[in-house]
Amino acid sequence: MLPFNSNQIKSKLSLFLLGLASACLTLTSLPVKAAEKLLFTYGPIKLSVDVESLEVFAQDGTINEDLEQYLKRISPEDQEKFRAALNKKVDIDGVKISRFLNSNMGQDILLRLGKGITLEGGENGGIALRGGIIQSALEPSGLTLLNVLKNYPTNLQIQGELIMGGVEYTEKVIKATDLLVTSMRTWTEEEARTNTPVDYNTLSDIRQQGKYQVKQEKWQVTDSSRDRSFYIDVFAPQGVSGNIPVIIFSHGLSSRPEDYAEGLNHLASHGFLVAAPQHVGSDVIYFKEMFEGLNKNVFDENEFINRPKDISFVIDELERRNQSEFQSKLNLTNVGVSGHSFGGYTALAVSGAAIDFDYLQQSCDRLYSGLNVAILLQCQALNLPRQDYQFQDPRVKAVFAANPVNRFIFGKKGIRQIGIPVLMGSGSDDPATPPAFEQAVPFTWLQGENKYWALIEGQAHVNFSKLDGGIKEALDSTLHFTFPPQDLISAYVKGITLAFFEVHLNNNQDFRPYLQSNYAEYLSTDQQFKLSFITKESSDQLKGAIDTFRRENNITWEDE
């Protein structure tokens, strides 16, 4: 029996058309077109709209009979939104979008979309979708939803059951994220009540710059064993009398060490030497070269191997320079590693997490797995030779993984191999590594006694204030996002990361009061966007909440 009757299908299709238009314009990647008809199937029900009717409606608002049966089921305001969406031009370079959609990741996205947006008869429509997007983007009138519809090479069929299933799945993810944010606040408050009371107003404000002046250098290095040359940004504290603890930082995909200079400088001002290598196969230069036609893909898939090896090479390089440049003060047997996004993967890899190819393959093959942006990156590792990669560096003794890409490439088996202290960081509004996907379950998998998870409300993966082209303003105006002030996010991160590395690299118990939930409560006082912070003490509650949510929402993922 079908879950909807024909009238319900028409009503849902009306809303779907509007939603599809909006999503297309937001993401610039969800067009639909049949040369003559746009078809919608749900079981035995088959509905259609003439593309010509959509064009007439887009031009002057005339609603032909075949379109009327759908549009009459939505409000006049929504009808106008749909019309505007059909006509709205997305300013994007046709050559650049062509190069992205011809990359491995771009093709993966298209083929996943093509399961639900097919050729007439049900054949995957991803490649045809690519042609429609590219041709539209290259036309003088530019990339609009209507142009893509007109340029799609054949009748397009929307597989209603798959699309509706994807919508329901997305709704569950949103619901899970909302529940997670609420629960994290509850668990933070509960843990704080059990913490030893602390008057933080009487303690040093560790969010502020430390007492040491910082000398910044850029080293050009070559790992001859891999024929790999790159630079390292080094932040060295001046005038430290004793041993100098060391932290290596791994930047995110399509970024660079310089993008994180403020936080790295902060750690150095408190006495840590911080070294941040350029990952040449996944940095901003490589990404730009892809758009210039010099690289085929968004990043080199060998970065899953080279990134952790870069970290170990940097430690080796510091060992080579320790005596001559640092008077043998560097503590290189007790190193910390920090990383953001793809750098979070890197940090966890050198801490002992191992790639689980079987689990990754199962995850990538799931029907709606592509709705998690992070898995699109992780699935590229399936192009590597399948062998037992060992990246663990025994010199690494504590890691901070911010917004890490990690869950599906490591799985439970891989994450459980980590035996050192781990601090995970998340943003509640992170679209690239959603916490409900990428951090919640992996946190429960960590087996060590010293595990921590910080979640910043409103944080959205990157520092939008550093992006060019008015991206933040565009997001604010089109999606009505409200971002936390970047200085608030930075203050949260500075406080918890310094405390974490002081305790777990320097064994400095004076910083223990900062590494607990009541410090997060203190920092969040009177703030709209709060910091949640839990430890191993709340891990069982988190696991129970995940299990309950799955059961109540009929989610049966194998690993969960």
Task: Return the pLDDT at 514.
Answer: 97
Vertex 519, ends 515 and 523: CA angle to 5°? 130
Q: Can you point out the beta strands (E) in 224-368?
A: 228-237, 244-250, 273-277, 330-340
Tell me: pLDDT of 17 over 70.
no
pTM of structure: 0.87
Task: Return the pLDDT at 557.
Answer: 54
Question: pLDDT digit string (tens) for 281-337?
Answer: 999 999 999 989 898 899 999 999 999 999 999 999 999 999 999 999 999 999 999
Tell me: pLDDT of 257 over 70.
yes
Classified as helix, coil or strand, 226 is coil
Question: pLDDT digit string (tens) for 471-486?
Answer: 344 344 444 456 778 8
Amino acid at 350: V
Q: Which two tokens stand for residue 113?
A: 């979309």
Question: What confidence tier does 470 reach under pLDDT thresholds 50, 70, 90?
Answer: very low
d(CA 405, CA 359): 15
- The ranges assigned to domains in the chain are 37-154, 173-197+204-553
CA-to-CA separations, 471 to 91, 254, 463, in angstroms, rounded? 13, 16, 11
Question: What confidence tier does 120 reach under pLDDT thresholds 50, 70, 90?
Answer: confident
Strand 422-427 with 396-402, pairing: parallel
Amino acid at 449: E
User: CA 454 from chain center: how many Å?
Assistant: 16
Task: Return the pLDDT at 407.
Answer: 94
Instruction: Give mean pLDDT, residues 494-520.
Output: 97
Tell me: pLDDT of 237 over 60.
yes
Contact at 8 Å (CB) between 349 and 308? yes
Task: Return the pLDDT at 285.
Answer: 95
Task: Return the pLDDT at 45.
Answer: 83
Instruction: Give mean pLDDT, residues 265-279.
Output: 98
What residues have CB less than 8 Å from 505, skipping those under 6 apart? 245, 247, 272, 331, 334, 335, 336, 397, 398
Looking at the chain, the whole-number percentage of residues with pLDDT higher than 70 is 89
Instruction: Give mean pLDDT, residues 185-189.
Output: 96
Tell me: pLDDT of 22 over 80.
no
Question: What confidence tier does 164 reach under pLDDT thresholds 50, 70, 90?
Answer: confident
**173-197+204-553: which CATH number, 3.10.129.10, 3.40.50.300, 3.40.50.1820, 3.40.718.10?**
3.40.50.1820
Contact at 8 Å (CB) between 277 and 232? yes
The DSSP output letter for 483 is P
Tell me whether residue 426 is exposed, middle or buried, using C-beta atoms within 10 angstroms of its C-beta: 0 to 12, 13 to 18, 19 or more: buried
Strand 330-340 with 244-250, pairing: parallel
Task: Return the pLDDT at 462.
Answer: 57
